[in-house]
Structure 1
């Protein structure tokens, strides 16, 4: 739009210059109406559109002659919604003849009556302000127009102006009024205001600039004030621009607030997740072709953000770069990234599923490129206690990489690399993760089990999947998960809450210690087409081995798990029922198994019988365990155990 309006000004400046220079060398009584046809033909040929001066051309002669042009039109593109792109009822202007011989166009006054400008795009994205062949390589020097061709206007009066913008692809229709107003110092400023519709939401825009004279004053920045309302979203930009005709040297203050950032997806070229209410502010500057948002600060729900952002165009694509810090990060404010609702209404019915099923807009994920870093060391989460988080995000034509996502937990860390390929209609996702020395005690921070907990977690995760939502991704995932904990302790109370009713026997075997020593825990899962199956789940305590077997169907979210205890010594307390866990991920339902299917209290149940080569991930994953650790011994037992005959293995797996 700015380019179009600039060229309109240049075209009229050139037209005015041609008129005046022609008239200077003709007789004072020459009929200027004879120039209408050749001038119209010249402009039509230049723009590739019909341009016509249909009214009279008149002049009031002096050293500062006054000209009047009536009834001007410029045809719209062939596919346009209306015949004309630009119409003008009357243009009156005065010209200083001596300035023309100095190569400058100076207009002491300009009066414009009923200008009508229609800017629109069609469904294919073509714009009616693109003249000529849009496939033709642009001339780099095309936009380098000397300032002498831009008329200097001392006084501008716009009466009953109108600017319309239409874009069916975004369901946008704006109808703006354009006029000049007189300020307190009797200086005329341009004011644009109006309203319309943008994706079914009401859109209101008010723009006010400074005096027209300030446009040409190098030592006087041009004041700008813009107010925008879109639905319940409000934004304001105020400040000055050093060179407004070239949009150079902006010194602007930006403020915005609204109930949900996702509302901005209507005007942004990229996907924006749903968020809680927000309020942001910052300073807008420009460095060449880069627009900078410095000192960005704001609130997003209960989270407190700060940092810097940069916007530009690279290879004709929007590019955003940012470095953001959360002085406080509440995870519930960012669940929209996963497709969950960050502000659920208490009146809405409870979802039966745990995993969000809202699809990601794939086109939005490939709509812009960029690189953003994000970090915080003040984190609030109802799940895993996290002490620090850092994220590095890159977007490249639909290839989104998040490498790494690092969560610091105590003296340990959880590192993940996530890749999303959005270049097709269906997202292709790969997740690689590493759990390194995460303390069990830190995971239970703030719970009644924290004091008795001990141990360190290691692990690996590698999943690949397809799908356009978290639920769909989970339902099609493949890969494996391995988690180990060594040299740990677990609270008796925690075991009781989990329904492992052999805790009492362990207490009597090992004394009145409120916790149970855990030599090593191995949880090895294989994931195939959304079904998570236990390859091996073993908790090896000093007196008892706890096994879990079964599966979790991520497509249906159904649970089918079974926990059982294998005492290492004969004990009168060993006859306890296994625990079945049914239900769903959202509402698990544990209960004692009514008819135990295994023999209990047998000292002959050795560790080797529990570890089989079925643990598929253990042999090829280096977990950094100490050579003399209990878990290292279990891993060695699993990898060095003699092969079980195929027939016997199948029987064992069926059991």
Structure 2
């Protein structure tokens, strides 16, 4: 009986052991996994991930990626990851071999925040990073990578989507940007420096230098802390200082949304030798100008940028108003409403093709009185031609910026209250400019001249390789006395001049356009007065001129003046030229070459009263526009002199005077018919 009891107890013990054994396996398995993980953590080499990482990046970007250095990491809740000697190949057409490379990159990630759905990068350090961005003439950029990468690296849609970055350090960085289409070539050194602000936060300061279009380039950027990039409750402070050669730009203020670059409250200050050079910075084609110093307030609404409350100087002229730029259209669109209280006529010279006066300094407010006096003295001194050299050209010969006309559409209004022009009776200017699809239209272009008005309609068509320009210029109510006064001939005449110029020419400069022009130029006066002394001198009436010199000059009635020039291939020929007074009728013949800028006119006077000692000799006006020459017609004078000699030989010396007696048989001109003939249609 004893043996059966022992067997029963043994069976119960075996059954219990069978019930406990599975838990032993579970606990053992957990222990083994923990042991394996501990061993893996201890023995894990992050470099094992090098090849998989290279393959993953290469596949995602389409650019061969190589990591020559080590990979490192930490096992913690805020691990620091390290990548060394990283290289990503560039597009096969790019000039630079690599798109991106760096000697060392360190990133600290907060895993606790990552589990909550927030990306927090506590510290980023880049050592010798180098990025080379390039864009071809067709617009393709080397930064166009795989679709997956493009989607992942797209700019955040909201300020709060930005990764929270505690500190960013860039050491000995280099940034290259080449744009064949825009002609931009930047090679800059980049580094970040930190300094605490009043709130104890670090502010970001970034500095870069290099070259742009072959000129020294420098960039200084100061912003709020990187932490504040994500904060919606306060505007982000930003200051950018940029210098390219002698051109400087400073932008300072705040942005409500720095990620989208919206909610701008920025002050802009621009200065430099020529507004046209701003294109390399802004990408907006602007005209060539004298030195400028301008300030304004920058705003942005989507793709529309505005500069408001603009004020400053261009050359010696003040300039204010507003500019609006729309980048959302197929072609860049610029709209401006500008105003000047006092406009120096030399400052608008480059707009019509006159080369800027390099000797003339801008009369900006910052200049001292002695500097202003020196600048004014230089301004008043005309350029002296080189002795023995060819005569300088008068017509503007600077080429029109044809490519700029083809890149942008524009609508510009400009008003000038007063125009300063020494020895030229100019007053206000009023201009409306429309540029649409490579056709520039100035309509109207109104300029006050000598108490009258120039009302011009000028159309420049740059759609083809040969630029076509059409001129339609009305001359209304010019006062002759104002012209004479500006020439130092006060009280020598008066009257009203009207006329019209209608020409069509080809070429990318005013000189070429007028030099190839066809059309007509008409001028006329109805009534007025002229100096009798001047009229007698024109007719070389020695006796009458001597009498007026002795007894005092007087004015005589001007019955009419009519001039009608035919212009063909740049050659002006008078179809009609009559100046009729109560004493004399003056006519002209010959031609004027706009192509060569040469004068070739012969002025003839036909006295209406008998006069003693009148040579009746034509006057020749010849030479270049810049060096005109006035002389007596040697042939006609010689013929009359020969006649006097013959009479003296045949009769008596006293009889030779008969050759210089003017019978005065000229009759009054039919002014009504003449004026009707030259009235503009």
- TM-score, normalized by length of structure 1? 0.79
- Give the stretch that moved more between structures: 146-155 or 555-564: 146-155
C-alpha displacement of 1:146: 5.3
C-alpha displacement of 1:71: 4.4
SS of equivalent to 1:255: strand
Say yes or no: does 1:279 pair with 2:293: yes
C-alpha displacement of 1:255: 1.9
SS of equivalent to 1:119: strand
SS of equivalent to 2:407: coil
C-alpha displacement of 1:119: 1.4
Q: What residue in structure 2 maps to residue 369 of structure 1?
A: 409
Q: Distance in 1 between matches of 2:296 and 2:154?
A: 34
C-alpha change, 1:297 and 1:146, in structure 2 (3 Å) is closer
Q: Distance in 2 between matches of 1:146 and 1:87?
A: 29
Q: What residue in structure 1 maps to residue 669 of structure 2?
A: 607
C-alpha displacement of 1:415: 0.5
Q: Is the 8 A contact 2:127 2:170 kept in 1?
A: yes
Query: Mind listing any 5+ residue stretches in structure 2 that lack a counterpart?
Result: 1-35, 360-382, 641-660
Query: Mind listing any 5+ residue stretches in structure 1 that lack a counterpart?
Result: 1-25, 609-630, 640-655
C-alpha displacement of 1:411: 5.7
Q: Is the 8 A contact 1:241 1:250 kept in 2?
A: yes
Deviations 1:558-599 (A, max 9, x none): 211011122344454765222111111111111122344999
Q: Is the 8 A contact 1:308 1:323 kept in 2?
A: yes
Say yes or no: does 1:326 pair with 2:340: yes
Say yes or no: does 1:356 pair with 2:369: no
Q: What residue in structure 1 maps to residue 306 of structure 2?
A: 292
C-alpha change, 1:329 and 1:517, in structure 2 (3 Å) is same
Q: Distance in 1 between matches of 2:56 and 2:625?
A: 73
Q: Distance in 2 between matches of 1:93 and 1:171?
A: 33
Q: Distance in 2 between matches of 1:607 and 1:502?
A: 20
Match of residue 540, structure 2, among 501, 523, 528: 501
Say yes or no: does 1:473 pair with 2:513: yes
Q: Distance in 2 between matches of 1:161 and 1:253?
A: 29
Q: What residue in structure 2 maps to residue 240 of structure 1?
A: 254
Q: What residue in structure 1 maps to residue 278 of structure 2?
A: 264
Say yes or no: does 1:74 pair with 2:88: yes
C-alpha change, 1:527 and 1:269, in structure 2 (3 Å) is farther
Q: What residue in structure 2 maps to residue 201 of structure 1?
A: 215
Q: Is the 8 A contact 1:104 1:148 kept in 2?
A: no
C-alpha change, 1:145 and 1:636, in structure 2 (3 Å) is closer
C-alpha displacement of 1:481: 0.7
| Aligned pairs (5 A) from 1:152-551 | 152-167=164-179, 170=183, 172-185=185-198, 187-267=201-281, 269=283, 272-344=286-358, 349=386, 352-382=392-422, 384-409=424-449, 412-492=452-532, 495=535, 499-502=538-541, 505=544, 514-551=554-591
C-alpha change, 1:504 and 1:247, in structure 2 (3 Å) is farther
Q: Distance in 2 between matches of 1:187 and 1:348?
A: 64
- Give the stretch that moved more between structures: 120-129 or 576-585: 120-129
SS of equivalent to 1:275: coil
C-alpha change, 1:76 and 1:573, in structure 2 (3 Å) is same
Q: Distance in 2 between matches of 1:160 and 1:62?
A: 30
- Give the stretch that moved more between structures: 32-41 or 226-235: 32-41
Q: Distance in 2 between matches of 1:466 and 1:526?
A: 17
C-alpha change, 1:383 and 1:153, in structure 2 (3 Å) is same
- Root-mean-square deviation (CA, aligned residues, Å) is 3.5
Q: Distance in 1 between matches of 2:676 and 2:223?
A: 76
C-alpha displacement of 1:64: 4.0
SS of equivalent to 2:227: helix
Higher helix share: 2
